[in-house]
């Protein structure tokens, strides 16, 4: 069961890295960034609730919770412009039709599933 939570955090690590890159220099004015940030924060909150309700040992829970809290701080600190205009619509998009913020970043976390019971 511990593997599930650790694998989830590995997924969030990648998503947060992508969102940080977008918020720093690619799509800061993207309308999808605030929504992606909110989804990450809600997902981390749910992961913490699930972890607290699980049968994982208290020692392991402490380590995982500290990682969850670290990722939550990272997500909250994303620099997102107050002005929210989509760069794709404005004709300034550097990514093109497959905008990962709007279509892909959150989908990455859905690739991690709960382990099958043995």
pLDDT digits (tens, 9 = 90+) for 38-79: 889 999 999 999 999 999 999 999 999 999 999 999 999 988
pTM over 0.85: no
Task: Supply the pLDDT for residue 78.
Answer: 86
Query: Half-sphere exposure (CA, 13 Å, Cβ side) for 15?
Result: 30
Task: Supply the pLDDT for residue 31.
Answer: 67
Could you tell me the residue ranges of all domains in the chain? Answer: 2-106
Task: Supply the pLDDT for residue 66.
Answer: 96
Q: Counting beta carbons within 10 angstroms of the beta carbon of residue 1, is it exposed (0 to 12), middle (13 to 18) or buried (19 or more)?
A: middle
Task: Supply the pLDDT for residue 115.
Answer: 61
Q: Counting beta carbons within 10 angstroms of the beta carbon of residue 12, is it exposed (0 to 12), middle (13 to 18) or buried (19 or more)?
A: buried
**Residue 9 in this model has a pLDDT that exceeds 80:** yes
Q: Pick the residue with more confidence: 6 or 98?
A: 6
Cα 112 from Cα 16, distance rounded (Å): 15
Yes or no: say if 23 and 78 are a contact pair by the CB < 8 Å rule. yes
pLDDT band at 114 (very low <50, low <70, confident <90, very high): low
Yes or no: say if 61 and 51 are a contact pair by the CB < 8 Å rule. yes
């Amino acid at each position: 069961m511990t593997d599930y939570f650790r694998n989830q955090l590995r997924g969030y690590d990648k998503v947060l890295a992508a969102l940080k890159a977008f918020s720093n220099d690619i799509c800061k004015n993207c309308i999808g960034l605030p929504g992606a940030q909110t989804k990450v924060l809600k997902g981390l909150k749910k992961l913490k609730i699930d972890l607290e309700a699980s049968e994982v040992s208290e020692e392991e829970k402490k380590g995982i919770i500290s990682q969850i809290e670290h990722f939550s701080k990272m997500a909250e600190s994303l620099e997102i412009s107050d002005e929210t205009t989509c760069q794709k619509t404005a004709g300034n998009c550097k990514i093109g039709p497959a905008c990962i913020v709007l279509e892909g970043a959150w989908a990455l976390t859905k690739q991690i599933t709960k382990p099958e019971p043995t």
